[in-house]
Amino acid sequence: MTEPAFQSASMLAQRLRDGDFSARELLEYFLDRVDRFNPALNAIIVDDRERAREAAAAADWALRHGQPLGPLHGVPMTIKESYNVAGLLTTWGDPAWRDNMATEDALAVQRLKRAGAILFGKTNVPLHLADWQSFNDIYGTTHNPWQQGRTPGGSSGGSAAALAAGLTSLDSGSDIGGSIRGPAHYCGLFGHKASYELIPSRGHALSANLTPADISVLGPLARSAQDLHLALKVMAGPDQIQARGYRLQLRPPRPQSAGEFRVAVWHDAGNAPVSADVRQRVDRVAEAFASAGATVSWDARPEFDAQEHHRTYAALLQAAMSGRQSPEEHDKEIAELGALDPDDQSPAAEAIRRRLLTHYRWLQRNEHRTRLRWAWQNFFEEWDILLAPVGATAAFPQDERPFEQRSLQVDGKAQPYWQQLFWAGLASLCYLPSTVVPTGPNAEGLPIGVQIIGPEFGDLTTLSAATLLEQMGFGFQAPDSY
């Protein structure tokens, strides 16, 4: 068969319909690649081969009898470990949950399966989905397929590594602090952080919680912009509790061509510097729009103080992350807060204070967020998209030391590890969609991505921009070793 390892899921679905191969043959093709390449990569950490084979056989029977299941009929895919899949473990990398067997599929998984996808494995994550690397004490470390020893990103790092290495055709991750966008950037992929709860999060939880976590969203990773659009259509829409009164009807993008876009560019920040090659890639994407006739501004900004925006994001992010703690961990932090020196302004001390915000303080921050949402709303009345970095650098060397001992080298200067959260927060805090496009490897042979941020529920606009950029040459490239 023509090499399908790096083709898009959309193309593979078409080839299945055309009879180029069967679903079972395509599944075995990917499983063979997993056997050859995954031991060194450690991206796919849970296999579900026998059930996948049964599903593939059923898909072949249905296709032969003129009963296709949907747009992903017969397409093999993996999914992030943090999604519940009935009969498989969901641990979020936490040894305390080592035996946590899911009894029901997450809603997004149900929708992917109804669309015909063949789920054959789960991909690695960091502890509690809280790092830009993907390692934990249960499953070990996932490596970047572009260079062993570099991070593939986190927390959807296993998803991105598997896709970039051609071990799967599609994956879905989650993002609260860049956890879809970072891996897409570090591994040279397309990724989409959806608007908040556009894809219902039910079943993406370590415990039996049904309440959606603040800020955190789901979204696909893929090797093409078309796949992002397809997967979003499959997974998006109200959950059952809302469906009596709401239906999904996203506004189509206003621009119909690259030349019609109104593009703002935010390529650096004093409180979150980025490397020269990251900044240059943002500018290169902006220049591609400008060359197509788009209106482009490097000065346009929403009307708010950027550092205060980030402080609000940091506070509400840590408050949201506190929901991932066990009661014992929470009680321990309460004791630590009581023992803190009031003059201690270290990142660790500030993180504890944010995780233990009083409800009154949380409401104040949330009110500020609502005002920021309106500032973004006004900004996107004038501009269609905002181009920005995803992270400070290309994929950095793995560093599994405690967080307080880590830093990032940005053009030869050490910067705080968490400083680059600024770029994730631009879209995350106010529930905005963000689509990452790859721009190819840098001089070190490491990919760099650029994020396209749009208005709340303007997902089709950012996806349209990504599609146009892919047509202009900003597409997936496979790493040489795979």
Q: Of 452, 445, 435, give the one whose Cα is nearest residue 394.
A: 445
Backbone angles phi, psi at 91, to 5 degrees: -120, -20
Angle at 153 between CA 271 and CA 38, to 5 degrees: 170
Residues with catalytic roles:
80, 155, 179
The DSSP secondary structure of 181-233, one letter per residue, reads HHHHHHHT-EEEEPSTTTS--TT--SSS--SPPSS-EEEEEESSHHHHHHHHH
Other CB atoms closer than 10 Å to residue 114's CB: what's the count? 12
CA distance 222 to 144: 16
Strands 118-123 and 76-80: parallel
Task: Tell me if the bond preceding 155 is cis, omega within 30° of 0.
Answer: yes
273 in Cβ contact with 279 (< 8 Å): no
Half-sphere exposure of 222 (CA within 13 A, CB side): 27
Q: At what angle do helices 49-64 and 23-41 cross, to 10 degrees?
A: 160
The DSSP secondary structure of 102-131, one letter per residue, reads -SS--HHHHHHHHTT-EEEEEE---GGG-S
- Whole-angstrom CA distances from 323 to 59, 207, 363 are 39, 10, 17
Let me know if 189 is exposed, middle or buried by CB neighbors in 10 A (0-12, 13-18, 19+): buried
Let me know if 268 is exposed, middle or buried by CB neighbors in 10 A (0-12, 13-18, 19+): middle
Tokens of 130: 């809280």
CA distance 221 to 174: 10
180 in Cβ contact with 163 (< 8 Å): no
Round to the nearest angstrom and report the end-to-end CA distance of the chain.
17
User: Taking the mean position of all CA atoms in its chain, how far away is CA 195?
Assistant: 12
